[in-house]
Amino acid sequence: MAELAYREALRRALIEEMDRDENVFLMGEDIGRYQGTFRVTAGLFEKYGARRVVDTPISEPGIVGISTGAALMGLRPVVEMMTMSFSILALDQIINHAAKVRYMSGGQFSVPLVIRGPGGAANQLSAQHSHSMEGWYAHVPGLKVVAPSTPSDAYGMLKTAIRDDNPVIFTENPGLYGIKGEVDDDEFLVPFGKAVVRREGTDLSLVAYSRMVHVCLEAAERLDKEDGVSVEVVDVRSLVPMDTDTIFASVRKTHRAVVVYEDWKSGGFGAEICTRIQESCFDDLDAPVGRVGGLNVPMPYARNLELQCIPNADDVVEKSRQTLQGVI
């Protein structure tokens, strides 16, 4: 069992899949000689050369268009977006082409394409570089969307994504790249569509994905120490497909739930999770489903203002206490 940083786990997965299958190749801006903005692809240009680690011009529509065509011809491209915010420029290619080709061809063609990169706020990257795009893509039939929270899941889910015959949006919160965790030395895959309980509890369920899982774990510890409340934390990790069985089982055990997500609160993917809980677990709930999301404002540059826009443990603790008291 090795302790790896999140970025190192991603790199290990890329190396193993590129060694396993010569059809796997990488594309993106500054991923080769520069080794990637967040250093995920460090050393890969030297190892595999310019044919399999392709530095591209600054043209997201071109990158995704070329990679979609390559996938249709039997290759397995892995595209790195310098930030998922920039994928907005390629929405036509992603939504109207990559996501729809398999359906529109009656299953005759597949698009084994992975689009990965940092999604969410980093330190002072400002409004145009801080979008959480996962909810946008989870809205589109034909795309799979995952958001791993640990190095182990980052490793196993990226390998699963590369082997999938469907386009996968693989979002990595920039706040996670440096965190460390144990990753099994033996090769393994983490399946899509399976949530995991990170902390057992009986009084309240916190449901989250990506970096907010760690925020919820911190909040759960505080609620235990300060209030004597037993909090369960569910890591959704796979948005599409989503494992509602694990979420519902937790809610039916604790009878209360708070959903936490970094995206803008209005219309974010957490609202979808809340709705599914409300629809399927209404008779099991002792209080309305709580929700903690990002402020509905463009991300400020000033660090003090940025921090106010991103959910933190204080926000989760406050909403949890309200939910435990039955306050809307």
- Give the residue numbers annotated as catalytic, written as ranges: 60, 129
DSSP for 222-275, written as a single string: HHHHHH---EEEEE--EEES--HHHHHHHHHHHS-EEEEEEEESTT-HHHHHHH
DSSP for 90-129, written as a single string: GHIIIIIIITTHHHHTTTS-----EEEEE-S--SS--GGG
b vs e for 112-140, b when ≥16 Cβ sit within 10 Å of the residue's Cβ?
bbbbbbbbbbbeebeeebbbbbbbbbbeb
Distance of CA 268 to the CA centre of its chain: 13
Q: Is 326 exposed, middle or buried (0-12, 13-18, 19+ CB in 10 A)?
A: exposed
Q: Is 264 exposed, middle or buried (0-12, 13-18, 19+ CB in 10 A)?
A: buried
Q: Name the residue type at position 159.
A: K
